[in-house]
Amino acid sequence: MQGVFRFVVFCIFFAFGLSSLGLSIICGDLVSYYSYKGLLTASQTNIDKLKSLNDDYDALLSQLQQDPNLFNRIARVTFGTEQADDATAYPRARPEELSAARSALAKKIAESADESRLPKWLLRIKQPQRRVALFLAGSVLIIISIIFFGPVSRPSESD
């Protein structure tokens, strides 16, 4: 019974030691993997946005071919030209409103850029001090498991 208990404790200590040792060694590769994965996701999102934008432009071009008056209606928004119709009031944006919108957009972009795509546990262990501590803790666990819970040498019966 004691042999089974020693074997189980040896396996647990050795497994935890080996996993922490391995994690501290491959931490840099994991950071690269998650960074590239985030870049790939961002690139795919940009490609999807571009496809949607192309579809919108294709629809707009087909509408312009079908209805030539549409160009006059969207010219002010697209090119910033003034309308000739005096009976219609066109609101203008004030500089304060534009600067508030610009600062809100800049803040949103900065927040999204600051968000790291790395998992929280990886952010903690990528610090050099913690990597060294994880490496040392894993090494100590392996040594403890081998020394204290390893195979016991039995004294020979001839002695």
What is the per-residue pLDDT across 57-113, written as a single tens digit (0 to 9) for each? 899 888 888 887 777 777 766 766 666 666 666 667 788 888 888 899 888 877 665
Q: In this predicted structure, what is the pLDDT of residue 65?
A: 86
Q: Is residue 129 part of a domain?
A: yes
Give the pLDDT of residue 86: 66
CA distances from 16 to 58, 141, 150, 158 (A): 58, 7, 15, 39
Q: What is this structure's pTM?
A: 0.58
Q: What is the pLDDT of residue 17?
A: 93
76 or 1: which carries more pLDDT confidence?
1
124-137: per-residue pLDDT in tens? 888 999 999 999 99
Q: How many domains does the chain have?
A: 1
Domain membership flag for residue 68 = yes
* Within a domain: 86: no
pLDDT band at 121 (very low <50, low <70, confident <90, very high): confident
Give the mean model confidence (pLDDT) for residues 118-147. 90
6 against 138, higher pLDDT? 138
Whether residue 157 is contained in a domain is answered as no
Where in the sequence is the domain holding 13, given as residue range(s)? 2-81+98-149
Mean pLDDT of 32-58: 91
**154 inside domain:** no
Q: Is residue 90 part of a domain?
A: no
